[in-house]
Structure 1
């Protein structure tokens, strides 16, 4: 089992590192095949990733505690303090609030494949209340070898979450079972004791990213004054403009990967009236144009269809 430690503070779009576009050889893409639902309504979210090309996403923020099982190829998690490599048949657990450059590589395989589970806070809190307290809760990332027991509980959890016939109660039970298995193996996730003001605002914006979000409107929603809300944001190191922009670009990334909506429709949904301005902002943030991602997704889908 290996640990890596990184700075976990996320301070908004204004402080993110810009992507290094010069002399890049890898395709900078993140290919997610499973439509994303509102994680607040489920104990966890299933994300299935597949790519026939080497791809990279820069400054990816982990919003929920995340487990990733690499089935084929290898993953690299790059931080200022070093690189954590995750090989085939290894599991990595990433703590919420961390930020990474992520490189997915088919390596010697025909494609890269991974299964990811993003855990909501409720089951994390439930498990924290059951297990005895420890000092070394997960603060960044930890890798584990995949054995029969861990593989079985991950698969069972993913299938339960994806099945329309499985009740929410049983889905929660499966997620808690997986978290208990992780906890008994030394991987303890930290529950969120209190949601920060920045996170409250981010979640509200995510519900309607196309809206014209102003501080006065948000203050009304949260039953406070605009000046008070502005001070709270400033004290956290965020600006409203930075939060709105980051949420819109993250939403656009997910919609491009998980839906068939047109790029223009996604741009409008995420608050851009100009297709060209959306494409420029998307490329500046993620390091590749929306059209490039769509082309690679189409190629990857055809590749997986041939494999089937």
Structure 2
């Protein structure tokens, strides 16, 4: 079985101004605004990241997100999302940063030439199917090391909760027919035990599936030219209209808004 990637590389691009309600960050992430402006908003205030700025988002952070194409008519951001195993590996290898307080909420810094070089080396390795796992890890760790030297570190991940385990299991195949029994079997436990463990975290299998499917839909809308109907199918929705209704309820705007 192939090893899971140490990080994911995405590019978000849109010509449409949009505001996304309550985005939950699932993986420690570093974004680089190439064009346009990103706003992270809470009732207490917000943070603005124009082009040339880097934003750092720790897992479990929640924000309302505004992606604004102004002033050049297109919002473009590159995003690296780091697997918990890689963040754990970073803390094991670079103990000299243990005294740094982990980032809370968000952080930012300018994308200078050193950062751009490190970031793009990581993107190149992660997107090149011929790159070895060792090289991908090395390049991704280089970005984390550069951030740490700027005073920014992610918290050690610790043990994954059951809801996060379920999301990571179904994430690669959100369109599959995921029953409670099938998911429980993948963990070598019973359906009743899985339900109980999720309930202790205030979650259900249905909530985890819905999160994965709609968040996958949002990612595909922002990073691919696929039609909404194709995205709905890839996310496990047989009905375009049901996907659109669920998406609008979750994020505050219809998916068609990103397909002008």
Q: CA deviation at 1:159?
A: 2.5
Q: Which residue of 2 aligns with 1:11?
A: none
How many residues are treated as equivalent by the alignment?
256
Q: Which residue of 2 aligns with 1:177?
A: 142
Contact 1:51–1:113 (CA under 8 A) maintained in structure 2: yes
Structure 1, gaps ≥5 residues long: 1-39, 296-308
Distance in 2 separating the partners of 1:54 and 1:194: 38
Q: CA deviation at 1:93?
A: 0.7
Residue number among 8, 20, 42 corresponding to 1:57 in the alignment:
20
Distance in 2 separating the partners of 1:264 and 1:70: 29
Q: CA deviation at 1:247?
A: 1.5
Alpha-carbon distance change, 114 to 274 in structure 1, aligned in 2, over 3 angstroms:
closer
Alpha-carbon distance change, 161 to 215 in structure 1, aligned in 2, over 3 angstroms:
closer
Q: Which residue of 2 aligns with 1:28?
A: none
RMSD: 2.2
Does residue 283 of the first structure (1) align with residue 254 of the second (2)?
no
Does residue 191 of the first structure (1) align with residue 156 of the second (2)?
yes
Q: CA deviation at 1:165?
A: 4.2
Contact 2:13–2:77 (CA under 8 A) maintained in structure 1: yes
Alpha-carbon distance change, 216 to 158 in structure 1, aligned in 2, over 3 angstroms:
closer
Q: CA deviation at 1:261?
A: 4.6
Q: Secondary structure at the match of 1:92?
A: strand
Range that drifts further, 92-101 or 226-235: 226-235
Contact 2:11–2:223 (CA under 8 A) maintained in structure 1: no
Q: Which residue of 2 aligns with 1:94?
A: 57
Q: Secondary structure at the match of 1:71?
A: strand
Q: Which residue of 1 aligns with 2:189?
A: 224
Q: Secondary structure at the match of 1:58?
A: strand
Q: CA deviation at 1:260?
A: 5.0
Q: Which residue of 1 aligns with 2:99?
A: 134
Q: CA deviation at 1:193?
A: 1.4
Residue number among 120, 126, 142 corresponding to 1:161 in the alignment:
126
Q: CA deviation at 1:233?
A: 0.9
Q: Secondary structure at the match of 2:200?
A: helix
- Report the TM-score, using the length of structure 1 for normalisation: 0.75
Q: CA deviation at 1:262?
A: 4.3
Q: Secondary structure at the match of 1:41?
A: coil
Q: CA deviation at 1:251?
A: 2.1
Alpha-carbon distance change, 43 to 220 in structure 1, aligned in 2, over 3 angstroms:
closer
Per-residue CA deviation, residues 19-56 of structure 1 (Å, 9 max, x unaligned), is xxxxxxxxxxxxxxxxxxxxx72222222223333222
Contact 1:63–1:96 (CA under 8 A) maintained in structure 2: yes
Distance in 2 separating the partners of 1:188 and 1:92: 13
Distance in 1 separating the partners of 2:253 and 2:241: 14
Distance in 2 separating the partners of 1:228 and 1:163: 40
Q: CA deviation at 1:245?
A: 1.6
Residue number among 54, 72, 75 corresponding to 1:112 in the alignment:
75
Q: Secondary structure at the match of 1:187?
A: coil
Q: Which residue of 2 aligns with 1:293?
A: 258
Residue number among 238, 248, 253 corresponding to 1:273 in the alignment:
238
Distance in 1 separating the partners of 2:112 and 2:124: 18
Q: CA deviation at 1:235?
A: 0.9
